[in-house]
Structure 1
């Protein structure tokens, strides 16, 4: 018997719509974010009268609907008016002023950006932006390596609204005063979902993504519990999809509790593999943070030196940034203390199957 004979065929799959289970999928209605969406829309309204709108800093922990709420408003703008052009940029993927100006040019239909000097490219982008009213969304703004692009837009673009999305509510305090004084931004904080809200959001995705009767109640409840514990809808979406893959692997049309447990186990295995793929220098720094989570970066560095770490402080900072960008650790900046700004490091210790 061939190894593929027992697999479900294409017309026997448990999936009805894979796309509905993706992180970037935008449902017709964004549940439990109506007031936040209205606040976002209100910032854009003045642009319908030919004026600049209001700037907004949107904060909240990862996976609680910030990006999808903004993208939904952008969809509505594109459907309802030709007067305003929405531009979305993820600053983790496009993280310098030069790259962001290229991205803006491309989104505005200008593709001849190769071999352009920075000053030339900026002027081209400004000219393009001033032909229209533009609403910008800079997602993961705290990942940008510089913020000159904000100054350029605030100084040179006539009719604009700016949404800055970040996981950190106090991020603005790290901005240069020349930018902050021109930004004059309002704040909108997204609160974490309640467990019932997590249940309803994931239930909608199950209804959209799978055929009727695919998910057994124990399996779905397991996924909801873990998504609520992680405070991240994206975790729930991953578990929904991977649980179904586990069911299909055993040629079943029903997702059982064991499938969801196996999916969660894969999350833990994935993190372990990622750690094993780090070079020895990064592993050593990660172990330092793990043993000293919650301490200031300078304190962790000093402890490392006593343990035999033989690198400069700047090199240590670069390694911390790599680990932060990869999600292994978290960094929290406390501004304006008695010693000035302080950076605290936390090991990103996600729950494992043994914790439940």
Structure 2
């Protein structure tokens, strides 16, 4: 973009963005930096599949925003470029959090159309997938992304058991599984049933949090591809990287760059300034909160809203209001409390209460206003 003599202002049909899609969360970069070792381990595990054999199973672990999903997408693209005899299907377990919905997604990926919405049993659904694999002599590689959501719903062991034991019921079926967890507190192997542990035996690939220099390097490439030349200075980029490092989530930085660019455009400015970043951070810092909320059911959202209005109250008191609004029993209520706790949306603290024995209080992890605003 040439310099504008009118105080560097954008005209109505100009943009600071060269390609705004570069700053979308689902954008897959052409070069995937600082994850060479992890990609080598994943490639090693899937190499047998390219040769027509069952691949090694893998657990992929690491906090949110550390490149796990991008690694899977890059890996699957590479496998697809080498052979058409390996089917690769990524299942978003935040959306598909039951065994049946996981296999519905696998059916769709196998046949390229959705299964009937009702009237088909799990056994028949599973059978059609397996028979198709055997008939075409294909290898299936399933990535259960955000597998922690299957654990929250107590569906993980059943889903994995069906996948890992498929060859026993359908000889010739070759299926490998990559489980991807973003919950640092979850020990995948420890939480699985013994019947699954005995056949899973995965390779382990860990994705650590990016450090500040790595964040600068990754975001600089996004800036080069996504903004026009000279839109953001090195100092401002490093400020974005500092905020990103504090959050521990690369997605915060990517979202921050996009929102800061939009803020600059609102000012009709050709450059992104520090104030644009500071203003954008008030929204971008809640990227993980927004993502967690997007996967909640209506009842789970209702409970979180009740907790927000009764922050710090005892679980029994919170239940009374929740029951009044949903008519759900205490067992289901307790399961939802545990899920919200595992998602780090709330904190539970046990204490002795006079006349009531030992009870737990429920508190929000995030600011009340931020939660309620995103629940609307």
**TM-score category (smaller protein):** 0.7 to 0.9
Q: Which residue of 1 aligns with 2:253?
A: 236
Q: Which residue of 2 aligns with 1:123?
A: 127
Q: What CA distance in whole angstroms lies between the structure 2 residues aligned with 1:60 and 1:112?
A: 32
User: Which moved further from structure 2: 133-142 or 153-162?
Assistant: 153-162
Cα distance 1:110–1:236, how it changes in 2: closer, same or farther (>3 A)?
closer
1:152 aligns with 2:158: no
1:162 aligns with 2:177: yes
TM-score if structure 2 supplies the norm length?
0.76
Question: Does the Cα contact within 8 Å between 1:105 and 1:125 map onto a contact in 2?
Answer: yes
Report deviation, 1:234.
Answer: 0.2
Q: What CA distance in whole angstroms lies between the structure 2 residues aligned with 1:24 and 1:280?
A: 28
Q: What's the secondary structure of 1:108's corresponding residue? A: helix
Q: Which residue of 2 aligns with 1:304?
A: 315
Unaligned stretches of 5+ residues in structure 2 = 1-8, 168-172, 324-328, 349-359, 370-376
Cα distance 1:49–1:21, how it changes in 2: closer, same or farther (>3 A)?
same
Q: What's the secondary structure of 1:164's corresponding residue? A: strand
Report deviation, 1:313.
Answer: 4.6
Q: Which residue of 1 aligns with 2:352?
A: none
Report deviation, 1:327.
Answer: 6.1
Q: What's the secondary structure of 1:206's corresponding residue? A: helix
Q: What CA distance in whole angstroms lies between the structure 2 residues aligned with 1:348 and 1:315?
A: 21
Query: How big is each residue's C-alpha offset from its partner over 1:109-153, in whole Å with a ceiling of 9 and x where there is no partner?
Result: 252621322222121122123331111111001102313232111
Question: Does the Cα contact within 8 Å between 1:55 and 1:184 map onto a contact in 2?
Answer: yes
User: Which moved further from structure 2: 313-322 or 143-152?
Assistant: 313-322
Query: How big is each residue's C-alpha offset from its partner over 1:144-164, in whole Å with a ceiling of 9 and x where there is no partner?
Result: 231323211111143222110
User: Which moved further from structure 2: 63-72 or 101-110?
Assistant: 101-110
Cα distance 1:316–1:7, how it changes in 2: closer, same or farther (>3 A)?
farther
Q: Which residue of 2 aligns with 1:23?
A: 25
Q: What CA distance in whole angstroms lies between the structure 2 residues aligned with 1:246 and 1:83?
A: 47
Report deviation, 1:57.
Answer: 0.5
User: Structure 2 matches for 1:119-268, cutoff 5 A?
Assistant: 119-130=123-134, 131=136, 132-144=138-150, 145=153, 146-147=155-156, 148-157=158-167, 158-167=173-182, 168=184, 170-267=187-284
Cα distance 1:308–1:60, how it changes in 2: closer, same or farther (>3 A)?
closer
Q: What CA distance in whole angstroms lies between the structure 1 residues aligned with 2:286 and 2:53?
A: 52
TM-score if structure 1 supplies the norm length?
0.79
Q: Which residue of 1 aligns with 2:304?
A: 282
Q: What's the secondary structure of 2:165's corresponding residue? A: helix
Q: Which residue of 1 aligns with 2:43?
A: 41
Question: Does the Cα contact within 8 Å between 1:239 and 1:264 map onto a contact in 2?
Answer: yes
Report deviation, 1:172.
Answer: 2.3
Q: What CA distance in whole angstroms lies between the structure 2 residues aligned with 1:40 and 1:269?
A: 30
Q: What CA distance in whole angstroms lies between the structure 2 residues aligned with 1:239 and 1:64?
A: 16
Q: Which residue of 1 aligns with 2:92?
A: 90
Cα distance 1:347–1:57, how it changes in 2: closer, same or farther (>3 A)?
farther
Superposed CA RMSD in Å reads 3.2
Cα distance 1:326–1:244, how it changes in 2: closer, same or farther (>3 A)?
farther
Cα distance 1:233–1:184, how it changes in 2: closer, same or farther (>3 A)?
same
Cα distance 1:37–1:279, how it changes in 2: closer, same or farther (>3 A)?
closer
Q: What CA distance in whole angstroms lies between the structure 1 residues aligned with 2:286 and 2:78?
A: 40
Q: Which residue of 2 aligns with 1:102?
A: 104
Q: Which residue of 1 aligns with 2:356?
A: none
Question: Does the Cα contact within 8 Å between 1:219 and 1:256 map onto a contact in 2?
Answer: yes
